[in-house]
Amino acid sequence: MKNYQTLWRSIGALSCGSVATYVTVRMLDRRHAHSLEESSSRSQWLKDWDRREHQLIELNAQGDHREVGALRHIVLVRHGEYTKSEEGSHLTELGRLQALRTGQRLNEMGVAWDHVAASTMPRALETASIILKQINFDPLKMKRCELLPEGTPCPAVPPQRRNPNHIEQAYRRDGPRIEAAFRRYFFRASPEQKLDSHLLIIGHANVIRYLVCRALQLPPDAWTRFNLHHGSITWLTVWPNGYVTLRCLSDAGFMPVQQLTHRRPRAPLLKLEA
C-alpha cells in the first residue's frame, strides 16, 4: 500500500506542472468562449440602418411580399501614390501609372457607371481624371464631393501612435463630415428602382476604411486595422432588404507586384514603363 502511495505521489509531483497548465488553458478557453458569446449577443444586425425599412413595411401591408428593388453597387477606389510639396499633394509618376491600370481594370468590368464622385483633394482629382478617360465617363458629370477629403473619422482601437490631443481635434473636425459622406452614399435602392446601379467613389484610405466598417456594421474604431493599396478597388453591394456584402477589399491584383504601394515614397522614384 505504501508503495502505491509513493508511486502516485511521484506521478503527482512529475505531472503537477502539466495539470496546472491544463487547468489554466481550460479556464482561458472558457473565458474566451464566454467573451465570444457576449460579443455575438451584442453584434446584431440593425435592419433599418438607412431609415428605409418603412418602404418594405408599406409594401408588405399592401400584400406585396416579393423581393423588390435593385442592387446598389458602390465601388471605392483609393487615389494613386502621391507626394507632398509646397504646391500641394500630387500624384507621382507611379501614382499616375497606378491610376491608369485601375481605370483599365474598371473598364474591363464592363460596368455602365451611373454616378462618379471624387474627393476635392488634388491627388484624388488627378486619379479621377485618369480613370474617367479609361471608363469613358464624362468629366462634367462627375461630382466633386466636399465630404470625401481625407481625415480622421474617429478614434482608433488600438490607439494610434500620435498625440492624443491632436487626434481628438482631428476627429472632432473630420468625423461628422466623413459620417455625412456615409449617409449620403450608402443606402438601399428604392422599390421603384428596377435596374441595378453602380456608383464609383474615388477617395482616400481613411475615409474608405471607415465607410467599409460602417457599411458592414463593424466597430468603426477598427478602421486602422487594415491597409489599402494605392489605386486599389473595394466593392460593396447594398441589397434591397438592407443587407450589405463586401465583394472585394483593396483589390490590386491587376497591378505588377513591383508597382504596389500603400504609403508615400520616401525617396525619388525611377521612371516606370506602362
Q: Which residues are annotated as a binding site for substrate?
A: 123
- Whether the CB-CB separation of 79 and 250 falls below 8 Å is answered with no
Distance CA 241, CA 11 (A): 62
- Whether the CB-CB separation of 176 and 123 falls below 8 Å is answered with no
DSSP conformation letters of 213-267 = HHHTT--GGGGGGS---TT-EEEEEE-TTS-EEEEEEEE-TTS-GGG---S--SS
Binding site membership: which residues? 123
3-state SS assignment for residue 76:
strand
Question: What residue type is 175 in one-letter code?
Answer: G
Q: How far is residue 72 from each of residues 1, 83, 212, measured CA to CA in Å?
A: 79, 34, 15
Helix (H) or strand (E) holding 201: strand 197-203
Set of cell numbers at residue 106: 474598371
What letter does residue 144 receive in the DSSP assignment? E
Q: Give the relative orientation of helices 122-135 and 93-108 as an angle to the nearest 10 degrees.
A: 40
Helical H segments across the chain, by residue range: 2-42, 53-61, 93-108, 122-135, 164-185, 205-215
